[in-house]
């Protein structure tokens, strides 16, 4: 099919590349001319596994880039709206970009088009898109509006698109539902997985994926409810981890016991410094705002948000516990992105903690495999040094802080790390290391929801080798 994807951010760019990989002809449209020119040259503005390979494979063939929405609409069958929906006042999603696209589509369509919400939007958005298009001159029989929420994780977004847990299509007309089924047929029939060079399957891939057909309202609610539930699961296990610290239990053992229950599962039972990124914080606030508009006091969401915010402050107290005073301390920070595998620092707890430490009078030496360029635009220029590696960041530091769960951090040479540090103190906000191993190497090791590792000093007062 011929598809237009409006917006070339995380969702839009991944969707464009993946639809092309499925065999569709795709036009990626963005009103940012500079970004469009960059993409036309083959430069990619985000860090995402497999995305460079797909765009190199299909750029100039099945996928092209444009700033002209009207021309793109003329030659395509379906238009996916994947523009930003940032947090607005009182937590409501700012849907002005979606409205702007709807107005332009109304002026552009000449024959039947399927309009698909791909951005994360609150319930009733499809109704508003339809109303805006009708008010701006579109004929009622010239379009349908459907909802097709994305469930992509930054860092694994391409794999998530090609090997989804499920595909949700929310459509209120048989014609719209049929078109969406056709678009995703290469996945739901298994045809794509039989091709000669598919994207490698994750270990837990279940193919072909399940297709779930719902009303547009239900699809809109599914996306917000899903993100709210996952955020709740993270905050819940962080609260349990805090209880473990209070009573001297080990949250790893508790997670193992909880996750073994098939009704709960192990995923997202990973205590740390809290969730961040462009989705969970914004979507939780938007979902709560929708609930209030419906006269429902969704107080559970308030506590999810409160626990997540408190987790950052608890980590700062953990740093103070390890170091006593903070002013004048030189600290190494590993990780600035909100999680490993991405360069996204939006709502990153790592950035928030780094800023707290700078306000406390610390200097910081930071390293992240992908997010340092974006962090330079956010962190203060004073007191921050950007290192070339984890070991460079650790050099002569009073302590090492782990703030993002990059796989390469978990694989560090701990003996080399210990030699680089001025003092063998590690405060791990992602529980990447085994406390027993850290103890054997003579580290003072503090993590989340597990007993502190404080080796007995030698008679001379030094940490044992």
What is the Cα–Cα distance from 11 to 415, expressed in whole angstroms?
A: 40
Q: Are residues 82 and 205 in the same domain?
A: yes
Q: Are residues 356 and 425 in the same domain?
A: yes
Supply the CATH number for residue 117's domain. 3.40.50.720
Residue 293 placed within a domain: yes
Label residue 261 exposed, middle or buried (CB < 10 Å: 0-12, 13-18, 19+): exposed
Q: What angle do CA 351, 339, 265 make, to 5 degrees?
A: 135
The domain of 269 spans 223-307
**pTM for the predicted model, two decimal places:** 0.91
Q: Which of 226, 326, 233 is nearest to 272 (CA)?
A: 233
What is the Cα–Cα distance from 83 to 32, expressed in whole angstroms?
A: 12
- How far apart, in Å, are the Cα atoms of 394 and each of 423, 434, 454? 10, 19, 20
Supply 221's token pair: 């609610």
Q: Are residues 191 and 61 in the same domain?
A: yes
Q: Which of 142, 137, 101, 104 is nearest to 119 (CA)?
A: 101
Describe the chain by its helix, strand, coil percentages, rounded to 5: 45, 15, 40
Q: Are residues 320 and 387 in the same domain?
A: yes
Q: Are residues 303 and 313 in the same domain?
A: no
255 is catalytic: no
Q: Are residues 288 and 414 in the same domain?
A: no
Residue 462 placed within a domain: no
> Looking up tokens 């016991």, which residue turns up?
257
Number of domains in the chain: 3
What is the Cα–Cα distance from 45 to 50, expressed in whole angstroms?
A: 14
What is the Cα–Cα distance from 271 to 71, expressed in whole angstroms?
A: 49
Give the list of residues 6+ apart from residue 205 with CB closer than 8 angstroms, or none.
163
Q: Would you write out the chain's pLDDT as a tens digit for each of its 465 residues?
A: 999 999 999 999 999 999 999 999 999 999 999 999 999 999 999 999 999 999 999 999 999 999 999 999 999 999 999 999 998 877 888 999 999 999 999 999 999 999 999 999 999 999 999 999 999 999 999 999 999 999 999 999 999 999 999 999 999 999 999 999 999 999 999 999 999 999 999 988 999 999 999 999 999 999 999 999 999 999 999 999 999 999 999 999 999 999 999 999 999 999 999 999 988 999 999 999 999 999 999 999 999 999 999 999 999 999 999 999 999 999 999 999 999 999 999 999 999 999 999 999 999 999 999 999 999 999 999 999 999 999 999 999 999 999 999 999 999 999 999 999 999 999 999 999 999 999 999 999 999 999 999 887 655 444 444
pLDDT at 447: 98
Residue 302 placed within a domain: yes
pLDDT at 459: 52
Strands 25-29 and 2-6 turn out to be parallel
pLDDT at 88: 83
Residue 43 placed within a domain: yes
Which of 158, 192, 214 is the endpoint of a domain? 214
Supply 303's token pair: 């506590």
Residue 459 placed within a domain: no
Q: Length of the chain in residues, anyone?
A: 465
Supply the CATH number for residue 292's domain. 1.10.1040.10
Q: Are residues 295 and 410 in the same domain?
A: no
Residue 105 placed within a domain: yes
Residue 456 placed within a domain: no
What is the Cα–Cα distance from 41 to 48, expressed in whole angstroms?
A: 18
Q: Are residues 345 and 236 in the same domain?
A: no
Q: Which of 89, 88, 118 is nearest to 101 (CA)?
A: 118
Q: Are residues 7 and 155 in the same domain?
A: yes
What is the Cα–Cα distance from 148 to 164, expressed in whole angstroms?
A: 13
Residue 457 placed within a domain: no
Of 18, 244, 279, 362, the catalytic one is 279
Which of 307, 337, 370 is the endpoint of a domain? 307
> Looking up tokens 């805006």, which residue turns up?
132
Which of 307, 338, 367 is the endpoint of a domain? 307
DSSP secondary structure code for residue 421 in this structure: S
What is the Cα–Cα distance from 319 to 321, expressed in whole angstroms?
A: 5
Q: Are residues 275 and 165 in the same domain?
A: no
What is the Cα–Cα distance from 40 to 30, expressed in whole angstroms?
A: 12
DSSP β-bridge partners for residue 399: 331
Give the list of residues 6+ apart from residue 48 with CB closer than 8 angstroms, or none.
10, 13, 14, 154, 155, 157, 158, 342
Q: Are residues 314 and 411 in the same domain?
A: yes
- How far apart, in Å, are the Cα atoms of 336 and each of 271, 342, 347, 365, 406? 18, 10, 11, 11, 10
Q: Are residues 284 and 345 in the same domain?
A: no
pLDDT at 464: 45
Query: Does an H or E element contain 285, and which?
Result: helix 280-293
Given strand 210-214, what is the order of strands in its sheet? 63-66, 25-29, 2-6, 78-81, 113-117, 143-147, 166-170, 210-214
Answer for the pair 428, 455: CB distance below 8 angstroms, yes or no: no
């Amino acid at each position: 099919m011929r598809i237009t994807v409006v917006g070339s951010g995380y969702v839009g760019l991944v969707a464009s590349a993946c639809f092309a990989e499925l065999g569709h002809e795709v036009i990626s449209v963005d009103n940012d001319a500079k970004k469009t020119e960059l993409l036309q040259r083959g430069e990619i503005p985000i860090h995402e596994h497999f995305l460079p390979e797909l765009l190199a494979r299909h750029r100039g063939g099945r996928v092209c880039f444009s700033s002209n929405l009207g021309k793109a609409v003329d030659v395509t069958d379906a238009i996916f709206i994947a523009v930003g929906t940032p947090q607005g006042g009182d937590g409501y999603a700012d849907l002005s970009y979606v409205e702007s696209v709807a107005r332009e589509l109304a002026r552009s369509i000449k024959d039947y088009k399927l309009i698909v919400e791909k951005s994360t939007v609150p319930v009733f958005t499809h109704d508003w898109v339809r109303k805006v298009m009708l008010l701006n001159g579109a004929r009622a029989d010239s379009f349908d509006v459907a909802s097709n929420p994305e469930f992509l994780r930054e860092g694994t977004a391409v794999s998530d698109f090609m090997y989804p847990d499920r595909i949700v299509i929310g459509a209120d007309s048989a014609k719209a539902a049929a078109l969406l089924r056709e678009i995703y047929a290469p996945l739901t029939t298994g045809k794509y997985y039989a091709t000669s060079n598919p994207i490698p399957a994750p270990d837990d891939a279940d193919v072909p994926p399940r297709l779930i057909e719902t009303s547009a309202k239900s699809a809109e609610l599914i996306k917000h409810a899903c993100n709210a539930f996952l955020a709740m699961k993270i905050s819940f296990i962080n609260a349990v981890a805090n209880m473990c610290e209070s009573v001297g239990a080990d949250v790893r053992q508790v997670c193992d016991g909880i996750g073994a229950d098939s009704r709960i599962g192990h995923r997202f039972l990973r205590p740390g410094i809290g969730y961040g990124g462009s989705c969970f914080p914004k979507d939780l606030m938007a979902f709560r705002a929708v609930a209030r508009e419906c006269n429902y006091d969704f107080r559970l969401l308030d506590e999810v948000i409160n626990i997540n915010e408190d987790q950052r402050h608890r980590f700062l107290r953990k740093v103070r516990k390890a170091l006593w005073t903070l002013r004048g301390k030189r600290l190494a920070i590993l990780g600035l992105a909100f999680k490993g595998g991405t360069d996204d620092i939006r709502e990153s707890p790592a950035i928030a903690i780094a800023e707290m430490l700078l306000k406390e009078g610390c200097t910081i030496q930071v390293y992240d495999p992908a997010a340092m360029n974006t962090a330079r635009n956010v962190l203060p220029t004073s007191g921050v040094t950007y290192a070339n590696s984890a070991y460079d960041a650790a050099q002569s530091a009073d302590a090492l802080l782990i703030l993002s769960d990059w796989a390469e951090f978990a694989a560090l040479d701990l003996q080399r790390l210990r030699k680089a540090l001025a003092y063998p103190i590690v405060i791990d906000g992602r529980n990447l290391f085994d406390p027993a191993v850290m103890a054997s190497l003579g580290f003072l090791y503090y993590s989340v929801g597990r007993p502190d590792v404080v080796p007995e000093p030698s008679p001379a007062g030094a940490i044992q080798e």
